[in-house]
A and B are shown apart, each in its own frame.
Chain A
Amino acid sequence: MTNAGTLQVKTAGDREIVMTRVFDAPRQLVFEAFTAPELLKQWLLGPPGWEMVVCEAATEVGARYRYEWKHADGKLFGMGGVCREFVPPEKLVATESMDGYPGESVVTTILTEQAGKTTMRTTVVYESREVRDAVLKSGMERGAEASYARLAELLKGHGKRPEQTAAR
């Protein structure tokens, strides 16, 4: 298995999260993996114990998508939204809201290809800083090691003003 590059996550501005990662595949394939339900089901997984039970993708502007996961103990979790831009194989923009939680975020994914590899840049714009920080907090794993090395990395990426996304 090739691991083309590990994920980088940064906060930008007050209410954004930016994720960047390289995949060792042409962007046509990456785009398909992001939009075809039979492929999404194979990687858009939850924490251990959760299974993806609903995967309705949106493949045109204005269409709704819906994802649901089910835990072994019967608990359900779902999220969905509306597709705002669908430009194969380079750009996806969609709103996103999670069941039981207020607010909606806008997710913009841009795929660029170079020498057969694809760089994904996903920007999530939340309604407020509070919501973004709550999402970050929810992603925290117990026992995650805080280190100076991570701090340095966090600061390194913060030299420039974050650019505005096309999502708004």
Chain B
Amino acid sequence: MVIQPHGYAITASRNLDATFAALADPTRRAILARLAAGEASVNELAAPFAMSQPAISKHLKVLERAGLVVPGRERQRRPRRLAVKPLAEASEWLEGYRRFWERRFQKLDTLLDDLKKKEKRQTRKLRNKKQ
């Protein structure tokens, strides 16, 4: 679906693989959404889920391995916070793909407008003929 004048980069960056793999789970996405609002401890992160703390820790580990979550500043509470760069990279890729298609669809908008006008004209003609 993508025209790629410079050839495909099949060797997708390992980082991006890890990012998308980490994002593929709804609990992990919820954790990230929570961390987007600010640092939080494991307890705080576990609170909205019907899940044990070890289960949440497991998800956190996946996110940490993907580099999406890093330790926060306070040592005692051991909060976690969001790492911006990998997610920014992933969203940047999505954004490029989106723009590529949006350009096409804007052309399609114009085409559909023309088609609608043509259809209206034809209906009018038919009506005039009948009269």
Contact = CB atoms under 8 A, between A and B. Distances in A.
A134 B10 contact: yes
B115 interface: yes
Interface string A1-39: 111101111110110010101011100011011000001
Interface in B91-131: 91-113, 115-116, 119
B99 to A, nearest CB: 6
Nearest to B99: A141
A129 B23 contact: no
B107 A43 contact: yes
Given A17-B97, A141-B96, A152-B36, A133 B26 contact: no
Interface in A32-87: 32-33, 39, 42-47, 49-50, 69, 71, 75, 77, 79
A158 B88 contact: no
Contacts of B102: 6-7
A10 B91 CA distance: 9
A138 interface: yes
Contact of A139 (B24, B100, B106): B100
Interface string A143-165: 01111101111111011110000
B20 to A, nearest CB: 6
A159 B30 contact: yes
Interface stretch (B11-19, B40-48, B59-67, B69-77): B11-19
A129 B20 contact: yes
Contacts of B36: 151-152, 155
B101 A29 contact: no
Contact of A29 (B1, B23, B95, B116): B116
B55 interface: no
Contacts, number: 190
Nearest to B115: A29
Nearest to B33: A155
A24 B92 CA distance: 28
Nearest to B97: A139
B54 interface: no
A131 B2 CA distance: 12
Between A2, A131, A138, A154, the greatest number of chain B beta carbons within 10 A of the residue's beta carbon is seen for A138
A161 B26 contact: yes
Given A47-B3, A134-B8, A151-B88, A11 B105 contact: no
Contacts of A100: 7
A147 B88 contact: yes
Contact of A158 (B5, B26, B112): B26
13 contacts: A11-B94, A23-B108, A23-B112, A24-B109, A33-B115, A42-B111, A107-B1, A130-B10, A131-B10, A135-B8, A140-B92, A141-B95, A159-B29
